[in-house]
Structure 1
Amino acid sequence: MATGDPARGLWLGWIGLVASLAGGGTALAVAWHGGSFVAAGAAAHLLAGVWVWLGLLRESARRARAERERLEAERLAALAREGRRSLFEEEAPSAGGAAAGGWAAVEAPALAVLLAASELGAAGALLSLGEAAAAREASLAGAAALCGGAFALLVLGRYAFALAEGPAPLAAAGGRRATSGAFALLVAGLALAARHSFGLTAGEGLGYAFVASEALLGVEALVLLLLEAYRPRRPGEVARPPYDSRLLGILAAPSSIAQSIAQAVDYQFGFAFSQTWLYGFLQRWVLPLAGFAAASLWLLTSLVVVGPGERAILRRFGRPVRTVGPGLHLALPWPLVRVQPLATGRLFTLVTGKHEGHAAGDGARVLSWTDAGHVDEGEEGASLVLLARQRAADEDPGVAPVNLLAVAASVHYRIRDPEAYATGVRDPGALLEALAERELSFLLSGADLDVLLRERGERARALRDALQQASDRFGLGVDVVGASLTDLHPPAEVGDAFEEVTVALEERHARILEAEVFSADLLPRTRSEAARKRSRAASEARRRQVLAEADARRFAALRAAHDAAPEVWRSARYLDRLVEAAARRRLIVLGRSAEVRTDLDLQEKLSAEEVGLGQRAFVPRSRDEVEASKEDE
């Protein structure tokens, strides 16, 4: 193949396509097996760049075809000069123009749209993935494979840039993609190696840089597609397809950033910006200006600004020199003097027995102490305290009478001496937390649970005083403002059994209350019913007594009437009986008309009983008969 052969661009397209697929597949496999977020980002970048290599293949094929047509045209011209003609002479010149028009009008915009969709889709997929799988062990072999792929892509990129200066000017788009892919694989390989060798997982956060870069490249492809439709054209210029990223050009050639920007402006706006005096001035003075800006920024580090409520310790080569208060101060620039600000006016809080992150994250959720999920794994034993208790009567004498209690306390403190706080120990906050754990165990170990629950406030004040004395002995330079016992309960592991006992006690108490309510309702009703029955019985007894006395007096009156006129009394009684019997039956009186006499007695008649000659005068009745006759009436 000759040096000026345009088919080199076609070979470059195939090699770049295979290399991108191979590198992206390798990075995807490493991300899948090793749980690497940054490797997934590198795979997304390489696989999205496949559309650029496809565009380069199509453009190289078109240019190779155009070159063949040019050679054919020259051959035909030579034949014409010799007086000979070709059979297909009239059809040959039109093929290249039609192919070029189809490429510019359809294929390049379509590839730009597909590239933008791939870039934006990859950014969305990476953002949803996050660092969920970053806890798996990294593979050193995978890191080596990624670094090897980065080297291969870098060589391919250099070759593409060299080829872009010759027969394939659009090979620079592939070179930019190859160089950026090499950089992505190198970053992913180094992150995996650091994770495997040193346990550093901070490199996985670079996956979010891939998210931002993929989204930015997708937006750039859409913007370039829009600008391509309206930019002015200059005669003789080589068109750059909209999928050729200008941002990746800056990454591929960082030493000529100004030239890359000038070329982009020349191409987009249709005038030679790189030939103006402004470009020459910037190219000549940009480095001195940048150096002056960097020196100015470095000298600005000598100005120390301490905010309100803070004090700052000035360290010269790590050794404290002086302590300054709020305001503006002058010192040697960084790194000769380092500033360590301390918020002396702020109130700090530490929580013993559990992680402090729960205080902010669980504010909107109700936490139960029986739920072991709100205690960090590995820290359950940090707040367990043995408490003495009274031995039960039926308890085994060989078992120690203690209670196991989970305790957490909140300690509020303020920095009193900044220099002592910063230079006394390496981590004063961790030491203060350990002292709080120790003093909490000492303070609560000799107390009974019931007493402790009643004296929570007194125990918290005692914890504050003991912790202040301990911190003074270690020279921490803090003032313990207050302490509070936030958690005070049995361990979460016995939560189910404790809840069963608690529920049983609550049910017992509820039943006692129900019985008291029932008793409070039943006793008054029972007393009222008893009083009503006693009153009714007394009334009934009085009524019967009165009736018996009346019967006795009536009987005496009838007896006296009988003794006075026995025959009259009997006749009257007989007639009364006859009247009663005749009243309940139909009587028919028959007689002769001559002997019938009607006697109308219109005078008021008195009953036999009104004169003491009624039914009771003849036959005294029992008390039951009297009651039955009253009910009939």
Structure 2
Amino acid sequence: MQVDLETDGASVEGLPRFQQGLFHARRLRQAGISLTALAVTGWVLALFVALFAPVSIWPVVLINCSSALFVLVAGLQSAWWVADWRAQALEEPAVDAPVAETGRYARLVERISEQIGAPVLWLCGWSLLALISIVEFWNLTLPAAAVGQSASIGAALGLALAFGLLVFERRLAQQTPAQWPEASALAQLCRVAIGCLLVSSMCLLFAGAESVWPLRLAVLIGLLPALVALEFLLRGVLSLFSPRQPLLEPRLIAQSFVAGLLRWPPQPLLALQHELHNRFGIDLRQIWAFTYMRRAFLPVLLVVLAVGWALTGVHEVPLHGRGIYERFGKPVEVFGPGLHAGLPWPLGRVLNVENGVVHELATSVSETAAPESASAEGPAPLIANRLWDASHVNDKSQVIASSSGDKQSFQIVNMDVRFVYRIGLTDQAALAATYHSADVPSLIRSTASRILVHEFASRTLDELLGEQRTSLADEIGRTVQADLNALDSGVEILATVVEAIHPPAGAANAYHGVQAAQIGAQALIARERGAASEQTNQALLQASMARDQAQATAREVNAGAQAANLRFVAEQKAYATAGRAFVLEQYLGQLSQGLAHAKLLILDHRLGADSAPTIDLRSFTLPADPSTPRKAVQ
């Protein structure tokens, strides 16, 4: 019950809480200063650790423990204001001395302190600090990592501090409400800090490179001081609507309903029942409805749990999936889409399997996040860039064959090979994919990598970029499907797509130069071969013409010789037959042929036997003109 100094001013000296007010204030001040130093140290350490290791467990643990200590310090300071008021109530009132004129800032602070009160401001300040710290360091995606020997040292220090707070909490719990009314509320706040320290220490002890749950638990334990700080903020805001009475004994503002739940056995409604009974005189135990609800709660809860457990045997299989029903751990049936009933969990369960869902898998493994889908109207996504001088997400380096003259070597190229697959549509394929393969994409990727190494080891880049590219994809798909069938994986390869084959990005320019030089050399070789072929054809043409000319000349000479031979034979036969007549005939013929175009005068006395030869000079023309003088010959 609160004491009013106006009416009960003389009787407060006999109350134990007023008699020990000075002692309580001294103890609270010492404990508050010590815990404040520890909390500030942990808070500063958390900031420094977050600069160098932001994804480790240490910043979260230090911030949560420091926030719990800040909440406890807020409660201790709020209790100190009450104990200090009691200690001052026993002292003689001092005479108000005239106060000198102060500045505007001092008057503003004094006015705010009179209207709101310093206890409320300090309580809200500590609560805001704790709440903001927890929110800023909240991260449920911390990766597991090794913590080393420092985790054991930190856990030991946390347990030692928790033990010290436990001793302090036990001493507060032994105080009676008459001696110290605020001791019970402070003990509850101590349990909040003890719980955070214990859980954080356990998380440090069990943290490791393969354990994720200590990280999640270390983050989630920050909800406890955060809820208490949020409640303190709400209580501080609501206390502004209560009138300030300096002569009335103040009540502890830092009372937490959340901290009051940390008791055994848990009684969440006990505090509400006490408040209703003390403030309004309502006793919930006298209401028949609440009594009946308390008695029927356990049977109704058991019936609801039994019905809920029985309903775990009803399974819903989606349209795009199938379900493998296990009875006592043994698969007995493959369910299709729809509702199916079986034994409740854990006697029976259904494992979901895909039903005709098609997936695309790249042979390369990328640690980056999945690319976002590009809009149809916007620019093309980065994955569509197939330029050789750029690296791509799904590219994988592969060794292929290379030829340099008569020497065999190898070269490295980047390629993007994708497989389109699905789980087989038969029940046997669904069972095989579920029980024979722990990770279907990893199985396909490892099998495909082995097949690709074997297939590309004997092929050159020209073969990969030529007409064999389509047949190569089909051959790879058939080989991968054969290996998956041999493993009884239940996976069906629908298509194999060779998206891109190109040299590595760093060697793209050099490869362009090599290709240009190779193309130039091939062009020169083709040009020289053409010139040589042209000269060869020209020589063959000339030789053929010379041979034909020689054959024609030889044939002509041969024909002339044959004609002369035939004429000679004929003349021999004619001479043998005619004798000298033939000779004379030949003579005359040759003579007439020789003198056919000559202007001659023939004198022969044998032309006419009876008359003397005469000459007709009328038709005769002299060979030279006698009237024309001849030129002198020099």
TM-score (norm 1): 0.62
**CA shift in 2, pair 1:9/1:316, >3 Å:** farther
Which secondary structure state, in structure 2, belongs to the residue aligned with residue 409 of structure 1?
strand
Displacement, 1:106?
A: 0.9
Q: Distance in 2 between matches of 1:231 and 1:292?
A: 47
Displacement, 1:218?
A: 4.3
- Matching residue of 1:548: none
Which secondary structure state, in structure 2, belongs to the residue aligned with residue 360 of structure 1?
coil
Deviation sequence 1:481-533 (CA, Å, 0-9, x none):
22323453445xxx434335547979999xxxxxxxxxxxxxxxxxxxxxxxx
* Residue ranges of structure 1 left out of the alignment (5+ in a row): 70-87, 92-101, 510-633
Q: Distance in 1 between matches of 2:26 and 2:114?
A: 16
Q: Is the 8 A contact 2:39 2:66 kept in 1?
A: no
- Matching residue of 1:294: 305
Q: What amino acid is the match of 1:401?
A: S
Q: Distance in 1 between matches of 2:147 and 2:372?
A: 26
Q: What amino acid is the match of 2:83?
A: S
Q: Is the 8 A contact 1:349 1:410 kept in 2?
A: yes
**CA shift in 2, pair 1:259/1:336, >3 Å:** same
Q: Is the 8 A contact 1:23 1:146 kept in 2?
A: no
- Matching residue of 1:14: 30
Q: Distance in 1 between matches of 2:184 and 2:114?
A: 18
Displacement, 1:145?
A: 2.0
Q: Distance in 1 between matches of 2:367 and 2:478?
A: 23
Match of 2:211 among 188, 200, 203: 200
Match of 1:483 among 482, 496, 509: 496
Q: Is the 8 A contact 2:146 2:207 kept in 1?
A: no
- Matching residue of 2:75: 52
Pairing 1:411–2:434 present: no
1:292-371 matches, within 5 Å, as 292-355=303-366, 357-360=368-371
Which secondary structure state, in structure 2, belongs to the residue aligned with residue 225 of structure 1?
helix
Pairing 1:146–2:158 present: yes
Displacement, 1:255?
A: 0.9
Q: How many residues are aligned here?
A: 461
- Richer in helix (by share): 1
Match of 1:422 among 427, 434, 448: 434
**CA shift in 2, pair 1:446/1:14, >3 Å:** same
Displacement, 1:433?
A: 2.1
Q: Is the 8 A contact 1:309 1:346 kept in 2?
A: yes
Deviation sequence 1:70-118 (CA, Å, 0-9, x none):
xxxxxxxxxxxxxxxxxx6998xxxxxxxxxx99961332133213321
Q: What amino acid is the match of 2:63?
A: G
Which secondary structure state, in structure 1, belongs to the residue aligned with residue 345 of structure 2?
coil
- Matching residue of 1:471: 484
Which secondary structure state, in structure 2, belongs to the residue aligned with residue 311 of structure 1?
strand
Q: Report the identity percentage.
A: 22
> What is the alpha-carbon root mean square deviation over aligned residues?
4.2
Which secondary structure state, in structure 2, belongs to the residue aligned with residue 388 of structure 1?
strand
Match of 2:453 among 430, 434, 441: 441
* Range moving further from structure 2, 186-195 or 312-321: 312-321
Q: Is the 8 A contact 2:60 2:138 kept in 1?
A: no
Q: Distance in 1 between matches of 2:437 and 2:197?
A: 42
**CA shift in 2, pair 1:90/1:165, >3 Å:** closer
Q: Is the 8 A contact 2:165 2:194 kept in 1?
A: yes
Deviation sequence 1:315-359 (CA, Å, 0-9, x none):
344332322222222222222223311222322333222227544
1:473-512 matches, within 5 Å, as 473-486=486-499, 488-491=501-504, 495-502=505-512
Which secondary structure state, in structure 2, belongs to the residue aligned with residue 167 of structure 1?
coil
Q: Distance in 2 between matches of 1:169 and 1:30?
A: 35
Q: What amino acid is the match of 2:79?
A: L
- Matching residue of 1:462: 475
* Residue ranges of structure 2 left out of the alignment (5+ in a row): 1-15, 96-112, 375-380, 520-634
Q: What amino acid is the match of 2:136?
A: A
Displacement, 1:275?
A: 4.8
Displacement, 1:436?
A: 1.6
Match of 2:85 among 62, 65, 72: 62
Which secondary structure state, in structure 2, belongs to the residue aligned with residue 243 of structure 1?
coil
- Matching residue of 1:623: none
Displacement, 1:163?
A: 2.8
Q: Distance in 1 between matches of 2:173 and 2:448?
A: 65
